[in-house]
């Protein structure tokens, strides 16, 4: 498995302009999530290790693939796309994994969604408003979406820290 390690993770520039700074922090957090999954078996990545929570590392990656799709493709670009994992009956299905869920498949979906997110964002300026609307009926500018995505990854990387430590004792990964 080709997995990102902390040594390979891109550090955000300390002197970048606003857009490269936002993009740098988002990439940093994206690769932090991948690094937290590095070196584990599929079974370990499916392990819900912080009872009573059913949260797993693979579930976090699935969730963030769906979040990337929603914010950059559905909201920003206005694409009409089905959810990747969630359904109307089970809106939290993106966090759920089965015994057959694998890292290879999950990472491929996540990488495809992050690539599509980058492509969607490239067509917008930071002050440009989204083509799609949020639940409030209002659009979002790209700056807001970048900031929200950095927050989303940072929060879930904290969850991943706890899950990873319980799975194999690794910290600072």
Kindly report, residue by residue over 70-95, the tens digit of the pLDDT: 999 999 999 999 999 999 999 999 99
- The per-residue pLDDT for range 157-166, each reduced to its tens digit, is 999 999 999 9
Distances in Å between the Cα of 32 and the Cα atoms of 37, 71, 134 are 9, 20, 27
Q: How confident is the model at residue 3 (pLDDT cuts 50, 70, 90)?
A: very low
Distances in Å between the Cα of 161 and the Cα atoms of 33, 47, 157 are 9, 14, 6
Cβ contacts of 55 within 8 Å, gap of 6 or more: 48, 95, 159, 163
CA 43 to chain centre: 20
């Amino acid at each position: 498995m080709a997995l990102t390690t902390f040594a390979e993770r891109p550090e955000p520039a300390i002197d970048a302009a606003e857009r490269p700074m936002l993009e740098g922090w988002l990439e940093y957090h994206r690769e932090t999530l991948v690094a937290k999954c590095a070196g584990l078996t599929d079974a370990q990545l499916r392990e819900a290790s912080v009872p009573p929570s059913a949260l797993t590392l693979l579930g976090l990656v699935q969730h963030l693939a769906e979040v990337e799709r929603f914010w950059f493709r559905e909201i920003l670009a206005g694409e009409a796309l089905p959810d990747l994992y969630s359904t109307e009956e089970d809106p939290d299905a993106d966090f759920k994994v089965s015994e057959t869920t694998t890292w290879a498949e999950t990472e491929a979906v996540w990488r495809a969604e992050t690539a599509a997110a980058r492509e969607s964002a490239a067509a917008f300026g930071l002050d440009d408003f989204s083509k799609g609307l949020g639940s409030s009926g209002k659009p979002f500018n790209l700056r807001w979406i970048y900031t929200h995505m950095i927050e989303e990854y940072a929060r879930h990387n904290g969850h991943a820290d706890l899950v990873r430590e319980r799975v194999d004792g690794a910290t600072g990964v």
